[in-house]
Structures are given as structure tokens and as C-alpha cells.
Amino acid sequence: MRLPRVLGLFDVSVLASAAMGPAYSLAVTMGPMMAAAGTNATLALVLLAAVMSCVAVAFSQLSAAMPSAGSSFSWVAAAFGSRIGAYAAWLLLLSNYFATMTTALPAATYTLALFAPKLATSPLWDALVGTLWIVASTLLLYAGLRPTAFTTAVFLIAELAVVGASIVAACLAHPAPEHLAAPALPSPFVGIATAMVLGIWMTDGWEVSASASEETTGAPNTPGRGGLLGLLVMTALLVAAMIAYGRVGSVAGFAAHQTDAMSYVADRIGGSFWHVTIVATVLVSTAATLWTTILYLSRSAYAMGRERVLPGAIGRLNPRGIPANSLLAVFGCTAAFTLLTGFWPTAASVLNLVLNGTSVFLGALFAMSAIAAMKLLRGRPGISPWSGAVVPLAGALTLCGIIAVDVAQSDAVTRAIEIGGLLLGAPFAVWRGRAGVRLESAA
């Protein structure tokens, strides 16, 4: 039995756009980017968008030529063998388990901010409510991709309406007061490189289209077109928002509100009405980002089970064509990790601890995928040397460069997490790598 084909171009574009979660991404990432690069943060996002577009072109071509729910993992395995593929699987699992946790916690924080403000800063309550959001997201995905795509579209339309209105309001509001002192920043080059690495998190999500490539209808390039469209449109919106919000906020203000940048923006553009509206919108955005992240992770885990990198039971479908075992495994692990954060001193400390590391793991995974594309697309009809080699290579080299700069200048704890996560993938690759694992269409 195969995954049922139920998604069209519009559905894939909606899922890719919602997975980027513009309101959520701005709330969680704009503050750290401003703290790292100051007024160069928007430039860093533009540069990173160009790099990610190179990677998205490679994903688009691979999705058309070799559709797989495993996306990056399966392509790397097809290009370089099972053990290198298993290392890519490790990066995918590690980065997206962290991503799920760091999405569920803000969902909890914004839920409590709306309905029980006194509990919003409690790590235990954040962990409990975040787990409930994971439960709800898993149940939605179990209902099927059609209900998930419809719900996502409704949430995305509401989110885009409010973000667009807030951009206009920020353009009309009074600029930030000049007397606020800016924080000390590293050299412009280091600051931009660090902000670009953080920007990987802000622009992440569009690749869910590749993991749904076995479930799309129409032309073979449907998932690639949907992912690229989502990336370009949402990145343009993010750039416009950072320009507008940077006008009403200061570098010092954003640096002081690294975990609630959108609340800071709401206060700067109009007080209580905007505060409630934007908090609700960030919650909507975070919820959609959460279940699309679980979608990506569960499809990837399903492919890993099918190709024996994970236990084979995870790679089975139920009678409705749903990877129920994979969903259950993803739910169990992500819920357990989220509940454990209830014992941290603060929820914000958890987010700050894993945000930079997750961006590094994602960047490494994207770079490996781009390099795999160069090998797999070579000589294929209709693939030019430019789009099949030069563009992916440019994306991979730039990602490797900014990751190296970021790791070198990180604090000791963050660097240990980043390097430790990368090194732990080696024994996993040796343990789970299988000589016969290959993407079927690559055989």
C-alpha cells in the first residue's frame, strides 16, 4: 500500500507557507537576529533567502525526479549510500524533534497569555499545554491530509490578513525613539553570518512539500513548485515585516524581547487591541507550524522505517493509507521531550538553548541535500548544468560557510550542543546504516 495522492498545487503551497509560519517565525527569531546583527538583520534575511532559494531549486528538481516521503534522507542515501543517508536521517530527526518542541512551547505560552496570563511564564504549565497542542496536531493529521490542508488554509488566511495589516500599521506609526541605546554587537560580518544561521529557522518549513511528494496529484513538479512558491512569497512577507517593524522598534528593544518580539511590536503600534490580535495570530501561526512540522517529521520517519533505518513497523500504513505507527512514534517522543521542559528554570531558557543548534542541524541537512542533488541530477534530461550543479553548489557552500562562522563564535554551551549533535550522528549512521537502502526510483 502506498500513501494516497490527495494534494494539489494549492494544498502544497498552503502547507509550505504555513510551515514557515511568518507570525511565529517573527515572534521567535526576529529578536535574536536583531540582537546578533542589529540593523543588518534584514540584509541577513535577504541573503539567506537567496541561499535557501538555491536549495529549494535542488529540492524541486529532486522531488520531480525522485519523489519520496523521506526527502533529504532518501536522496542522500541514494546519492552516497546507506550510512551517509543514515547520518542525514539523524540530522533530520534531531533538528525536527527540537523544532517540534520549540514550536509547541510558544503555542502553549501564547495560549496561556490569552486565557490564563498568570500561568504564561510557568515552565510546567507551558510544558503541559504544549503537550496538549501536540496531541491535537497528531489527531488532525490522523484524520488525513485533506482535513489538515483545509484547516491549514483557514489558519493561514487569517494569519496573513493580520500580519499584512500590522505591517501597514507599523509603516504609519511613529518611529522608535532614538535615545534607546543599541546593544554591543560583534563585527558586521560575524553578526550577519550569525543572523543568517538564525534565519534558517525563520525560513524553514517550505521543505514539507518534498516530504508530501508521494501524496500529490498532477505534474511531477507539483511539490517542488509548491515549496518554492511558499518560500518566495513568505520570505517576501518576512522581509517586509522586518523593515516595517524595525521602523517602530529599536535594536535594543528587540534584543530585550527575543522570545516575544511580536508582543513588543504590538505594544509599539497601538496597545491593547493590537496586543490581543497579534498574540492570537501568533498562536494561530504557531499551531499551523506545529502540525506541519509533525507532518514533515512523521512522513520522514515513515520513509526511514520503510527503508529500515528505523524499525520496520514505523514504515507501515494503516488501512486508510495513514502512517499511523510513525505518527504515534513521533507523538510519543515529542510529547516526552516537551514534558521534560517543565523542569527547566524557564521556558525561554529552553528556547534559547536549542534555537541556534537546531538552525545548525537544519543548515547541515540542507547542504547535504544540495550536494546529493548535484550527483543525482547529473545527466538527467531537461536538467541544465546551471540548475543541476552550480545553483545547488552555491547553496551548499554558503550554508557550510555561515555554519562554520556561527559555531566558531558561539558560547561554550551552544557550541557543545552544536558539535555534540553533529558528532553523535556518526555512531547512529554506523548503527542504522544498511547496505541495501536506496530510493526505489534511483535503482
DSSP secondary structure of 229-240: HHHHHHHHHHHH
Q: Quick one: 117 exposed, middle or buried, by C-beta within 10 A (0-12, 13-18, 19+)?
A: exposed
From CA 36, how far away is CA 45, in angstroms rounded?
12
Q: What is the CATH number of the domain that holds 332?
A: 1.20.1740.10
Residue 334 counted as domain residue: yes
What end-to-end distance do the CA atoms of the chain give, in Å? 20
Provide the number of structural domains found in the chain: 1
Q: Which three cell numbers stand for residue 422?
A: 553533529
Domain membership of residue 201 (yes or no) is yes
Where in the sequence is the domain holding 431, given as residue range(s)?
Answer: 9-442
- Span 47-59, mean pLDDT? 94
Residue 4 lies inside a defined structural domain of this protein: no
- 189 CB-contact burial (10 Å; exposed 0-12 / middle 13-18 / buried 19+): exposed
Task: Read off the pTM.
Answer: 0.91
Within a domain: 1: no
Supply 369's cell numbers. 541535500
Per residue in 228-283, pLDDT (tens digit) is 999 999 999 999 999 999 999 988 889 888 878 898 999 899 878 998 999 999 99
Instruction: Write the pLDDT tens digit of every residue in 381-437.
Output: 888 888 889 999 999 999 999 999 888 888 888 888 889 999 999 999 999 886 444
Q: Is 326 a domain residue?
A: yes
- Tell me, what's the pLDDT at 122? 85
Q: Is residue 3 in a domain?
A: no
Asked, for residue 88, whether it belongs to a domain, the answer is yes
**Helix, strand, or coil here: 7?**
strand
Does 2 fall in a domain? no
